[in-house]
């Protein structure tokens, strides 16, 4: 049986679908391989390795389309895939806003291949190397205090190759690697258990945080949580640490998603170029960030990406759009299409971040006589239609400008419209995800804890 190369698979699918009557076709091929290791008390609990190869095809007949996928690469299966997809497209309902990128779109949004984003690391760690790293992280943590119990370390590595082609002569590929280490620790006092975790995630293996630094940070987080009390009830300023502050950015991203705007499910509909945020808030999406976890030169429709201001000095400047949503809103795409093999293009971000200010988080806390420093959020009751916001939270009480006793089982509430106007960023931006934020101060949120103090 002939083993087809990737360019041969793409050519075959484009050719067969065209002969069957397709007006447009796009092909996505995904090659993914990786491994992960979980260790607890220096004992390997789980080892996983995978190597996958999958093909997705989207075929159009006018405004009708279908999407199919397969992991079989023999000529018979590939021919059947193209023919079946074309047949299904024939009987599918019309979608007047769908369609692949036109030749004019491709010309208007060129891919800047000269930009070096460095999204792929050639290093491939062995299972033995991963086990050594996991044991080192765990040992460093447990040596920090005999009060700590390991709830597991995970070390993972993956590499992905995505090839995108369409019948308008776009052909390109994106390579991506990811290395991550995570640690979870437990401590207890008087039969009350506390737990916390943290992680480091980078494109390049050598950029991963040193085991000792990760271990000590998580150890301190857990030990500091021992002896927690309830928060007082009332309106107080809150400070979100970076790990949880990015959840606020997630709400913003959902609110400016073109699909939410079209469906009327976001209170930010019709708010372009309006003053929605504190003037100190600047938010960007940077697909060209060197070694960024979400960096890419083209989106899932084959259009060249670019750095974009989402919020500038508190003013909402852009929605997140792909071709379909842009057509429906009468706007231009900003090349934020994302895709799986089995679905039409959705909308997402690359490396979205709330930009830091020059305010040190310690100075931010110094100015608070009574407040809540939040390190963990639980559950979620957030409405993007009304902006109503309510979440369980834990962290530490701020007393007279200093972090004092740990707090658990609190609830924070407010409204995103007001929260956005009050947000003040600190200077401690942490780039450990595709969505990142520094510490965020919001004044006057409602806290329900039950304490009388």
Residue 232 carries which DSSP code? Answer: B
253 confidence band (pLDDT: 50, 70, 90): very high
For tokens 């808030």, the residue is 281
Residue at which a domain ends, from 61, 85, 105:
105
Domain count of the fold of the chain: 2
Residues 4, 322: Cα–Cα separation, whole Å: 32
Average pLDDT of 96-115? 96
Q: Give the pairing type, strands 337-338 and 346-347.
A: antiparallel
For residue 3, the model assigns a pLDDT of: 72
1 confidence band (pLDDT: 50, 70, 90): low
The encoded tokens of residue 319 equal 């929605």
Residues 76, 353: Cα–Cα separation, whole Å: 46
Per-residue burial over 105-128, b = 16 or more CB atoms within 10 Å of its CB, e = otherwise: bbeebebeeeeebebbbeeebeee
- Contact between 411 and 448 under an 8 Å Cβ cutoff? The reply is yes
Residue at which a domain ends, from 83, 105, 127:
105
Residue at which a domain ends, from 62, 77, 105:
105
Whether 97 is covered by a domain: the verdict is yes
For residue 452, the model assigns a pLDDT of: 54
- Contact between 334 and 355 under an 8 Å Cβ cutoff? The reply is no
Give 379 or 450, the one with higher predicted confidence. 379
For residue 118, the model assigns a pLDDT of: 97
The encoded tokens of residue 214 equal 């990760």
Average pLDDT score over the chain = 96
Q: Would you say residue 293 has pLDDT above 60? A: yes
Range of the domain at 411: 234-249+356-448
54 confidence band (pLDDT: 50, 70, 90): very high
Residue 95: strand pairing partners? none
Q: Would you say residue 50 has pLDDT above 90? A: yes
CB atoms within 10 A of CB 151: 14
Residues 381, 412: Cα–Cα separation, whole Å: 11
CB atoms within 10 A of CB 255: 24
Residues 389, 229: Cα–Cα separation, whole Å: 23
For residue 213, the model assigns a pLDDT of: 97
Q: Provide the strand spans (E) within 75-147.
A: none
Whether 188 is covered by a domain: the verdict is no
Whether 268 is covered by a domain: the verdict is no
* pTM of the predicted model as reported, rounded to 2 decimal places: 0.94
Average pLDDT of 109-124? 96
**pLDDT above 90 covers what percent of the chain?**
95
Q: Would you say residue 453 has pLDDT above 60? A: no
The encoded tokens of residue 108 equal 């208007």
Q: What is the DSSP string of 210-230?
A: PHHHHHHHHHHHHHHTTT-BP
Residue 176 carries which DSSP code? Answer: E
Domain CATH number, residue 52:
3.30.2290.10
For residue 70, the model assigns a pLDDT of: 96
Q: Where are the alpha helices (DSSP H) in 116-241?
A: 127-142, 211-224
430 confidence band (pLDDT: 50, 70, 90): confident
Residues 247, 377: Cα–Cα separation, whole Å: 9
Q: What angle do CA 26, 253, 434 make, to 5 degrees?
A: 70
CB atoms within 10 A of CB 167: 19
Whether 120 is covered by a domain: the verdict is no
Whether 163 is covered by a domain: the verdict is no
Whether 178 is covered by a domain: the verdict is no
449 confidence band (pLDDT: 50, 70, 90): confident
Residue 315: strand pairing partners? 275, 312
- Contact between 409 and 417 under an 8 Å Cβ cutoff? The reply is no
Whether 62 is covered by a domain: the verdict is yes
Whether 150 is covered by a domain: the verdict is no
- Contact between 33 and 17 under an 8 Å Cβ cutoff? The reply is no
């Amino acid at each position: 049986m002939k083993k087809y190369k990737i360019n041969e698979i793409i050519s075959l699918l484009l050719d067969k679908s065209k002969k069957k009557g397709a007006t447009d076709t796009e092909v996505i091929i995904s090659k993914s391989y990786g491994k992960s290791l979980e260790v607890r008390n220096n004992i390997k609990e789980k080892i996983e390795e995978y190597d996958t190869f999958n093909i997705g095809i989207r075929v159009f007949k006018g405004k009708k389309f279908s999407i199919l996928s397969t992991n079989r690469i023999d000529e018979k299966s590939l021919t059947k895939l193209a023919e079946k997809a074309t047949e299904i497209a024939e009987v599918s309902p019309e979608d007047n806003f769908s369609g692949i990128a036109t030749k004019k779109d491709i010309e208007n949004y060129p891919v800047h291949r000269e930009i070096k984003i460095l999204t792929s690391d050639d290093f491939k760690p062995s299972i033995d190397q991963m086990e050594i790293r996991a044991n080192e992280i765990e040992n460093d943590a447990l040596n920090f205090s005999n009060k700590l119990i390991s709830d597991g370390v995970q070390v993972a590595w993956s590499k992905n190759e995505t090839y995108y082609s369409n019948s308008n002569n776009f052909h390109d590929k994106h390579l991506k690697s990811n290395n991550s280490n995570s640690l979870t620790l437990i401590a207890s006092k008087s039969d009350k258990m506390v737990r916390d975790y943290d992680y480091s995630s980078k494109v390049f293996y050598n950029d991963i945080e040193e085991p000792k630094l990760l271990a000590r940070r998580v150890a301190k987080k857990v030990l500091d949580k021992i002896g927690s009390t309830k928060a007082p009830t009332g309106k107080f300023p809150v400070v979100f640490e970076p790990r949880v502050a990015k959840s606020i950015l997630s709400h913003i991203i959902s609110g400016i998603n073109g699909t939410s705007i079209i469906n009327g499910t976001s209170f930010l509909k019709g708010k372009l170029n309006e003053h929605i945020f504190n003037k100190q808030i600047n938010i960007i999406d940077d697909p060209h960030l060197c070694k960024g976890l979400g960096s890419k030169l083209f989106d899932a429709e084959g259009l060249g990406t670019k750095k974009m201001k989402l919020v500038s000095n508190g003013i909402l400047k852009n929605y997140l759009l792909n071709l379909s949503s842009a057509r429906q809103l009468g706007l231009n795409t900003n090349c934020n299409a994302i895709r799986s093999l089995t679905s039409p293009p959705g909308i997402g971000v690359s490396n979205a971040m709330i930009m830091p200010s020059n305010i040190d988080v310690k100075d931010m806390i110094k100015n608070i006589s009574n407040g809540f420093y939040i390190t963990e959020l639980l559950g979620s009751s957030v409405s993007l239609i009304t902006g109503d916001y309510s979440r369980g939270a834990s962290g530490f009480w701020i007393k007279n400008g200093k972090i004092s006793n740990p707090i658990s089982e609190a609830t924070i509430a407010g409204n995103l419209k007001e929260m956005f106007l009050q947000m003040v960023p600190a200077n401690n931006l942490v780039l450990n995800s595709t969505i990142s934020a520094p510490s965020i101060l919001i004044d006057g949120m409602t806290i329900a804890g039950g304490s009388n103090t």
